Amino acid sequence: MNRLYCRLAVTNLKNNRQFYLPYILAGMVTAMMFYIMRAIQGSDEIASMRGAETVSIMLTMGLVIVALCTGIFLFYTNSFVMKRRRKELGVYNILGMEKKHIAKVMAWEAFILYVLSVSGGIVLGWMFHKLTAMFLAKLTGMSESIPFYISGSGCLQTAELFGVIYLLMLLYNFLQVSLANPITLLHGNNVGEREPKVKWFAAMSGIVCILVGYYLAVSARGVLEAVNMFFVAVLLVIAGTYALFLSVSIAFLKMLKNNKKYYYQTAHFITVSGMLYRMKRNAVGLANICVLSTMVLVIISTTVCLYAGGEDSLKTNFPKELSTTLYLNDVPEQADREYLMGLIADTAQRHNLNMTNVLAYADIVKVIHMEGNVVEYYDNSNTSYNYTEMGMLYLMARADYEKFTGHTYEPIAPGSVKVITSSAFEEDVIQIFDTEYLVAEQTAFPEDFPKEGVQSFLGDTQLIYVIVEDVRALASFLSDEVQYHIELDTGGTPEEQTAFAAAVREALKSSGNQLEYTVYSREEQRDEYMKLNGGFLFLGLFLGVLFLMITMLIIYYKQISEGFEDRERFAIMTKVGMGRSVVKAAINTQVRTVFFMPIVVAVLHLSMAFPMLKTIMFVFGLMNTELFVGCLIVTAVLFAVIYFIVFKLTSRSYYKIVYQ
């Protein structure tokens, strides 16, 4: 008896190959991607390479995202397939098969699909694993050889993950069949969608959600605020997108229908009435395509920009080849400054390097909360504060500030301070930690002020420089955390610069003064940047391909589903005397309108998200706005071309079904 169920399952899969072949291919590709990600993430060779910790974090994130997206994606495509098979299952039931027998056939089908998808995916994973690992090594700068191997844990975890997914889908299909009566199954494909009513509250709510999300994206100032608001803006735009297609689109079509001059034209009548009649069903799929398209555009454009702008980012965060910061308990005297500079100069001389562009200055840095002219310590336990109100106070002597900015300033009177902020500071008195000071001068940052790194995090309102004639004037409560910075260029080869940084650390360590310090070399950081940005690019391309494949399959199934639903309707129109050319023109208009709407909205989302994405990119030190704009435009154009090609290819299946 089981052989009979197995033969029926095989026959069903063959007869429905139009639906199941893309389903199987999608399962194989997602299984391949999960296996490759897991195999690389668990590779001993990758783990032993320099910078492997950063790459491993990227891969672990990707593994979780691929697993979640795979489950959601397969469930979604399963719903398309089951929708088309309701009539077939209803025929089985009417011909005498009990639901438990239908369940056995479905179990065999699920088992065959599982075996084909997982085995095919793992074999493809074996074939492309080394190529993908080599691509990752190239992006991240890993020069070690990566041998071919088969990951046993990767195979096992792939089989387990897909086993759970296919089992859950099978149970879901069992539930659908068990709860439906045979007549419902038999006519499942013919149940029409009533003309939807306009839900004005939902439509207005959707518009408000999108506008608020856009406002948050455009108005975010500083990385802290942008990161804090990013997920809120994303959720609002996603909710608004679904409302846009579910309610706003229906309201718009109703408006077109009420416009008699426009509506009572043959092509417009067919297009508007057809889209309105089934818009509720179309809307969810179109919103899914729009959201996925936006995700592809954001992920690929940002990761490509990070990788392409790696050198710019590195130089922004490390403007000098060597940056040394010493943490002192008091403002260093001139003799102390000369001693520390002498240690570094002697080290450079021993390594035959010439120090150039030397910058040395002291400052005191405090995390603050500023309101009006009152500056307080930022208190994490204060529930009235939030992250966007966190600021930074930089206290410097006039001489050090002149070195830092390269400008000269008038002397500052005793007891007075010079206040520099991005926005206008118009108070005559400033209160700093319960002590008031007269403001001798209020000014804005000079155009060439080197503030990008800090201000990108804090925005305009919480960054303040307070300059005094002699920093000891405030030493009574701020002198315990003085930072003395020495930054310089040396030239030389990357190897020489790396060796010089290590020698400076050793010289400071052996000075006998028990100094606390940090020494950063741009060359040392370059390798870490390459690992981080290369890992992001690999993950972005990997997930971009996954989301693109999901989008393509959703488009394909929508075209097939639309084709079967439209075939009978357009056949009736032809029989009652409507010309075939008119019908074809109406079909073309409807299909183009429906399937190009998501990409237009996705590009709109991307353009409105640009200010927030640009600000978030400051986290990585990427200040090159022109590069980011270029990456966004190129990504959007390439995606639009791919989307158009997929649309044209899937439209052939649609037209073939409709014109049969």
| Alpha-carbon span 272 to 472, nearest angstrom | 77
- Cite the beta strand spans of 41-163 per DSSP E: none
Q: Name, in order, each residue with C-beta under 8 angstroms of 84's C-beta and a sequence gap of 6 or more.
A: 16, 19, 189, 560, 561, 564
Work out whether strand 322-328 and strand 429-432 pair parallel, antiparallel, or are unpaired. unpaired
pLDDT, residue 456, reads 47
**Residues 144-155, mean pLDDT to the nearest whole number:** 75
Please state, for a pLDDT cut of 90, what percent of the chain lies above it.
1
Work out whether strand 416-421 and strand 391-397 pair parallel, antiparallel, or are unpaired. unpaired
The pair of structure tokens assigned to 93 is: 């039931």
- For the chain, give the mean pLDDT: 77
pLDDT at 630 over 80: yes
**Residues 336-342, mean pLDDT to the nearest whole number:** 86
Q: Is the pTM value of this prediction over 0.95?
A: no
What SS3 class is residue 282? helix
pLDDT, residue 452, reads 47
User: Mind listing the pLDDT tens digit for each residue in 485-532?
Assistant: 889 888 888 888 888 888 988 888 887 677 788 888 888 888 777 777
Which has more confidence, 275 or 537? 537
**Total length of the chain:** 660
Burial per residue of 423-453, b for 16 or more beta-carbon CB atoms within 10 angstroms, e otherwise: eebeeeebebeeeebebbeeeebeeebebee
Please state, for a pLDDT cut of 70, what percent of the chain lies above it.
76
The pair of structure tokens assigned to 98 is: 């009990």
pLDDT at 192 over 60: no
Question: How many Cα atoms within 13 Å fall on the side-chain side of residue 130?
Answer: 9
Which has more confidence, 136 or 32? 32
**Residues 379-406, mean pLDDT to the nearest whole number:** 75
Res. 473 pLDDT band, cuts 50 70 90: low
Q: Name, in order, each residue with C-beta under 8 angstroms of 352's C-beta and a sequence gap of 6 or more.
A: none
The pair of structure tokens assigned to 618 is: 């400051």
497 CB neighbour count, 10 Å cutoff: 22
pLDDT, residue 58, reads 65
CB of 106 within 8 A of CB of 177? yes
User: Mind listing the pLDDT tens digit for each residue in 125-138?
Assistant: 888 887 877 777 77
Which of 284-288, 319-323, 472-476, 578-582 bottoms out in mean pLDDT, i.e. has the lowest? 472-476
**Residues 437-460, mean pLDDT to the nearest whole number:** 63
pLDDT at 48 over 70: no
Which of 305-319, 384-398, 445-459 bottoms out in mean pLDDT, i.e. has the lowest? 445-459
User: Mind listing the pLDDT tens digit for each residue in 395-426?
Assistant: 888 888 888 888 888 888 887 888 887 666 77
pLDDT, residue 470, reads 75
| Alpha-carbon span 431 to 313, nearest angstrom | 36
Work out whether strand 416-421 and strand 435-444 pair parallel, antiparallel, or are unpaired. parallel
pLDDT, residue 101, reads 75
Residue whose pair of structure tokens reads 């065959």 in the numeric block: 112
Element (H, E) at 127: helix 99-140
pLDDT at 615 over 70: yes
The pair of structure tokens assigned to 249 is: 């689109």
Question: How many Cα atoms within 13 Å fall on the side-chain side of residue 535?
Answer: 24
The pair of structure tokens assigned to 327 is: 């943490």
pLDDT, residue 119, reads 92
pLDDT at 17 over 70: yes
At 164, the amino acid letter reads: V
**Residues 368-386, mean pLDDT to the nearest whole number:** 72
| Alpha-carbon span 449 to 352, nearest angstrom | 32
CB burial class (10 A; 0-12, 13-18, 19+) of residue 482?
Answer: buried
DSSP annotation of 429 reads E
pLDDT, residue 176, reads 73
pLDDT at 570 over 50: yes
Q: Name, in order, each residue with C-beta under 8 angstroms of 327's C-beta and a sequence gap of 6 or more.
A: 481, 482, 483, 515, 516, 517
The pair of structure tokens assigned to 347 is: 């080290």
Which has more confidence, 413 or 144? 413
Res. 188 pLDDT band, cuts 50 70 90: low
Which has more confidence, 236 or 381? 236
CB of 513 within 8 A of CB of 343? no
**Residues 138-162, mean pLDDT to the nearest whole number:** 78
| Alpha-carbon span 157 to 119, nearest angstrom | 13
The pair of structure tokens assigned to 50 is: 């320099």
